Amino acid sequence: MQKEVADFVQTVADQFSGLAQVVAVVLAGSQTSLVADRRSDLDFYVYVSEEIPPQIRTAIAQKFAVRVEINNQYWENGDEWIVTESGIGVDIMYRDPAWIEAQLEAILVKHQPSIGYTTCFWSNVLHSQILYDKTGWFRQLQSFANQPYPEPLRKAIVAKNYPILRRNISSYLHQIELAIERRDYFSINHRITALLASYFDIIFAVNYVPHPGEKRLVEFVKQLCPKYPPDMENHLSNLLNQTDQTGCLTFDSSQLSDRHLNLINALIDSLDELLITENLNDY
């Protein structure tokens, strides 16, 4: 991170550190995962004991930006700004400390898998840069998070995500087959996206790597995972490049429909090879 950006990051954190509600301020996202580029936002996570009033958040944002959105509720509760001088995007996300503690407990203690992205919050905490930590709570949380990948969690993620690729009646492959028959482009895209979410969740779990999130997944797999399905990039490229001028997958003939299903099966077949090698093919 450039010094100018680093100084700005600390300046923003200092605006929040003086508020009684604030327990900790950390920076995460692309800026702390070594894949930031000039388009990357600054993702701040502000852990609070109670909500900071929107008018206070507005006052902080307006010190740096004219274009601001306060109290967005679309994903996590947060604010977004575009810094006037630099054009950098700033995302401020507000979290309850008890909530993130519960997320980590579910993953690292109870070994509860999700359908895709199981360990993203774990990765988020691990790769957070502490900017303010009133009582040392976040450092303690990060210390708890810094533990070996639990083998029961690894197996649970595979057991949860593998069967729905194509084994179960309600599998993604079956849903895609039905959507192709109906020429339902939106459903096809939606189900392929879901299939890939489970696909990557499995790959990161196999490698004992906390899931880094939804961006640049192939890059992360190649960087962080010593083991991944053979010919993974080609399989993904062949599948995802079957698009028309609108960006939707194309299905102009039964032959082309068969081609898409063959590409999906080839993708899963190569994942099977990895799971067999790792003795994780019993699910």
Q: What does the pLDDT look like over 57-81, one tens digit per residue?
A: 999 999 999 899 999 988 788 999 9
> pLDDT tens digit string along 153-199?
999 999 999 999 999 999 999 999 999 888 888 898 999 999 999 99
Rounded to 10 deg, the angle between the 217-224 and 185-206 helix axes is 20
What is the bridge-based pairing of β-strands 22-28 and 129-133? antiparallel
Alpha-carbon span 52 to 57, nearest angstrom: 7
**Radius of gyration over every alpha carbon of the chain, rounded to an integer in angstroms:** 21
What percentage of the chain reaches a pLDDT higher than 90?
Answer: 74
Q: Two tokens at 76? A: 């996590």
Give residue for tokens 């939804």.
214
pLDDT of 2-26, one tens digit each? 777 888 999 999 999 999 999 999 9
Distance (Å, whole) CA 39 – CA 49: 32
Contact between 121 and 106 (Cβ < 8 Å): no
CB 207 within 8 A of CB 227: yes
Residue 265, both tokens:
């099966």
How much is the pTM? 0.90
Give the position of tokens 């450039």: 2
- The arithmetic mean of pLDDT across residues 261-277, rounded, is 96
- pLDDT tens digits for 219-240? 999 999 999 999 999 999 998 8
Per-residue DSSP letters for the chain?
Answer: --HHHHHHHHHHHHHHHTSTTEEEEEEEGGGGTT---TTPPEEEEEEESSPPPHHHHHHHHTTTEEEEEEEE-SSSSEEEEEETTT--EEEEEEE-HHHHHHHHHHHHTS----SS-TTHHHHHHHTPEEEEESSSHHHHHHHHHSSPPPHHHHHHHHHHHSHHHHTSTT-HHHHHHHHHHHT-HHHHHHHHHHHHHHHHHHHHHHTT-----SSSHHHHHHHH-S---TTHHHHHHHHHT-B-TTSSBP--SHHHHHHHHHHHHHHHHHHHHHHHHTT----
Of 103-107, 108-112, 124-128, 178-182, the least confident: 178-182
Which residues are CB-contacts of 179 (< 8 A; sequence separation ≥ 6)?
Answer: 187, 188, 191
Residue 244 in tokens: 């028309």
The contacts of residue 274 (CB under 8 Å, 6+ apart) are 203, 206, 227, 228, 229, 230
**Average pLDDT of the chain?**
90
> Is 247 buried (19+), middle (13-18) or exposed (0-12) by CB count in 10 A?
exposed
The pLDDT value recorded for residue 9 is: 93
Structure tokens at 204: 């990161």
The pair of three-digit structure tokens given for residue 51, joined into one six-digit string: 């909500």
